[in-house]
Structures are given as structure tokens and as C-alpha cells.
Amino acid sequence: MSSTPQYITLTDDNQILAEATIRSATHRPAIHADLHVEAGHLPVGTRTRLVDAVLDLTAAEPGTHLQVTLPAGDGEILDRLRQRCDNLQTRSAGASCLATGTLRQEKAGQIDPTG
């Protein structure tokens, strides 16, 4: 993985809703993202926006290997990853979930930004 991570923070009225730390591999097309969402009620679509922001920021090519660490039981993040990735596999790791897959070839207009 690269030595310089990228960071994403989603906010609403100066309150942090969700964050991500993203690292890209230097030796092969791969991305690792650690996702975190704040506890409590969040605006609808926050988790979907986080996944989209991570994948859009990296501008990764289709077929790029993706590894994501996310909160265990977060169905909205997993649903969005399934929409944007092929061969998504998950496994539990304590209070986290590890998801791996490859970025899907997307056609214009295929992805609904609202989830």
C-alpha cells in the first residue's frame, strides 16, 4: 500500500457524520479503505455517499481489487459495495467486517447516486 493515505470526511452542519482512510497499492491495482460512521441517527444515504466518495476519489479502473474495513452489520455500506463491485466477499473480524471484491465496469447512468 502507498505511504500517503487519503482522507474523506462527510459533515452536516459542521458535525462529522462519516470518515474514510484510503490507501492505494503501489505494485498492483488495489485499494484499501477503512470506513467509520458516527453512532446514532444519520441522514439517509450517508453510508452510500461515503462508499461513492471513496470509489470516486480514487478514480480506480474497473477490475481494481478493493478491500474495505467497515462496521459489522452495516447493511447500507454492504449494499452499495455490492452495487459497485463484483465478487464481493465478506467476513467478520470482531466489531468490524472485511469486504473484498473488484470494481465493476459501470455504464453511464447505471449507478443511482441516492442508493
Tens digits of residue pLDDT in 36-90: 999 988 999 999 999 999 988 877 788 889 999 999 989 999 999 999 999 999 9
Total number of residues shown for the chain: 115
Q: How would you classify the pairing of strands 65-71 and 30-37?
A: parallel
What gap in Å lies between CA 102 and CA 48, rounded to an integer? 18
- What is the amino acid identity at position 87? N
Instruction: List domains and CATH numbers for the chain.
Output: 6-103 (3.40.630.30)
* Beta-bridge mates of residue 31: 24, 66
pLDDT at 107 over 70: no
pTM: 0.84
Higher-pLDDT residue of 28, 5: 5
CA dihedral (46, 30, 58, 63) in degrees, to 10, reads -90
